[in-house]
Each structure stands twice: as C-alpha cells, then as structure tokens.
Amino acid sequence: MGLTIALGQAPSVPGDLTANLGLAARLAAEAGRRGARVLALPELFACGYDPAAVRADPGGHCLTPPPDGTRPAPGSPLAPLAGAAAAAGVWVLLGAAVATGGRPHNALLVLDPDGAVRGHYGKAHLWQDERAAFDPGTGLVLIEESGVVLGLGICYDAGFPELTRAYARAGAHAVLFGSAFATGPTAYRYGVYHPARAVENTLTVLAVNAVGDLAGEHYFGRSGAWGPDGRPLARCADDIAELRLVTVSAGACAEARRALPYLTDLRTDLLGHAPMPPYTRLSVPTPGALHAPCLPRD
C-alpha cells in the first residue's frame, strides 16, 4: 500500500492566473488518469515566481480562496481547478500567493479530492526579497492519505533541518517541497538539502521545482524524490515540462528506521528536544467531520 504523488514540473506564465490555473487543471486530470492520488506543483506556480511583482500588484497575483472545507464558487479563478481535482479524485498542492488579510503567504494551497479548499501551508522561512512581499506561515500542515502521512514545505524550508525533523516527530512518512531553485549557487544546494533531510529523518523527501525563465532567472526543473535512506528514487529531466509519478510507502519508512535509528538514538538528554510547532493534519473528510489544528505534541 502506498501513496502515488505526481510531481507537476511545468512552466508558469508570469502574472497570468487564468493560464496557470488552467494548466494546473489539465495536469490534475492527467495525474488522475495515471493513477496518482496527489498532484504537487512548484512554488508560486499560480502566478509565476516573482516576489517583486507580487509586492507591486498583489491583487493581480494573489488568490483569495473560499473558507476552509468549501468549494470555490462557480466562475471564480479556482473553480476549474477544483472541478478537475474532484473529477480526477486527487489532492492538489498548488504553489500560490494566498491572500490572508495582511501581506499574503507564499503558500501551498490544498484542494482535496472532493474539490474543496482545505487551507494552505504558508512558507515558514522566507528567502531574501520574499520578506518584503509575504508574511511567514505560522504552522505546519500534514495530509493523511492511503496510509501515508505527508508533510508540506516550500523551497528554502528544506535548508532548515528542524522543519523536516518536526514533521518526522509528528508522524510524517514523507515531506514534499514545492520549490523555485534557479541556476547558479542555489543549484548545488538543491542537490544537498533534499537527500540530507531524507536520510537524517528516515523518510521520503520530494521536491517539485519550477522550470523555465521568470523575472530574469532560469529555473532548471530536476524535480525528484529521495528515499528514507537518502538514495534517489526518481528525477525529472532538466529544462522541460514533465509529470513524474512517485509512490511513497509507510513500510519503507519503517524499514529504514529499523536500520538507521537516528530518531530514537538522538541524545535528547545532552542536546535537548525542540518544542513541537502547531500543525494541522488533513484527511478526506467523512460527512460532518471537522479537521481542527492539532496542539503541539511529541
């Protein structure tokens, strides 16, 4: 048993929400046809990665989703994507600038397989110019599906071991990062962060990276996945659009933790144990069920 995730490595049209959400809807349909249960898209896919443009024109780049647990209204920007998610029976993790009432979040917006918006993960660690355009997120988000618990992160978050460790402590079997790593110095770090986070936490790490040219930067793609031993499981090609499926299992996580007991051998008596941040755990709702944020715990 496992969870099949489609990494939607696809280019964004700068500032064109309609075009990008239309492509996301087509990718959701294709992911469903190919047997995926989750479609993940890159960082700020809905508007294209350009924090300066978001800051200058938030109204033209941000999405205002409906209340959590409800479907977007007919005719709203998210309605076609929600319809495609419901028709395909897939979760969609959409990189988007999400309006919050203050500055927006650089977010992964979560739509469930019924086409309802279930909230979003706001990027915890903002990179350089993002700090002028966005407010940081305030909690972690996990999705439980097909016996697998999946944590969410965005790009620069992968450089902070504490975030992935918090997900491991909350019961995650995998962590997925929607990303926008460009050619240049960040390309090397891309190949370091993700396998390191995987092996030190004995869980699967996935990254779906932007591709193409945006705001003077070239995004190389190379989306992929690394297993709980840090070894590569899958990789998209550089510089092309590609939909790559990866299946994650809880069993692989358990097997790795028997062989590599980093989590249980940690000397908390010597090094201490960081407090758990607040987090929300989502699953496909049963009729009338509510999914409230969880309190920090170990």
* pLDDT of 294 higher than 90: no
Q: Which amino acid is at 63?
A: L
Work out the percent of the chain whose per-residue pLDDT is above 70. Answer: 96
Work out the percent of the chain whose per-residue pLDDT is above 90. Answer: 93
Confidence band, pLDDT 50/70/90 cuts, at residue 167: very high
112 token code pair: 């469930």
Confidence band, pLDDT 50/70/90 cuts, at residue 273: confident
List the domain boundaries for the chain.
Answer: 3-284
* pLDDT of 208 higher than 50: yes
172 token code pair: 């995650």
User: Residue 170 and residue 44: Cα distance in Å, rounded?
Assistant: 26
226 φ, ψ (degrees, to nearest 5): -130, 135
Confidence band, pLDDT 50/70/90 cuts, at residue 73: very high
SS3 209: strand
Those residues whose C-beta lies under 8 Å from the C-beta of residue 261, and which sit 6 or more positions away, are: none
User: Residue 27 and residue 8: Cα distance in Å, rounded?
Assistant: 7
Length of the chain (residues): 298
* pLDDT of 297 higher than 80: no
What is the pLDDT of the chain when averaged over all its residues? 95
Q: What is the pLDDT of residues 231-257, one digit of tens each?
A: 999 999 999 999 999 999 999 999 999
How many alpha carbons lie under 13 Å from residue 152 in its C-beta half-sphere? 36
Q: What is the pLDDT of residues 92-136, one digit of tens each?
A: 999 999 999 999 999 999 999 999 999 999 999 999 999 999 999
The CATH code for residues 3-284 is 3.60.110.10
Those residues whose C-beta lies under 8 Å from the C-beta of residue 194, and which sit 6 or more positions away, are: 158, 177, 205, 207, 224, 226
pLDDT at 286: 60
pLDDT at 298: 46
Cβ–Cβ < 8 Å for 194, 224: yes
What is the pTM (predicted TM-score) of this model? 0.95
* pLDDT of 287 higher than 60: no
Termini Cα distance of the chain: 26
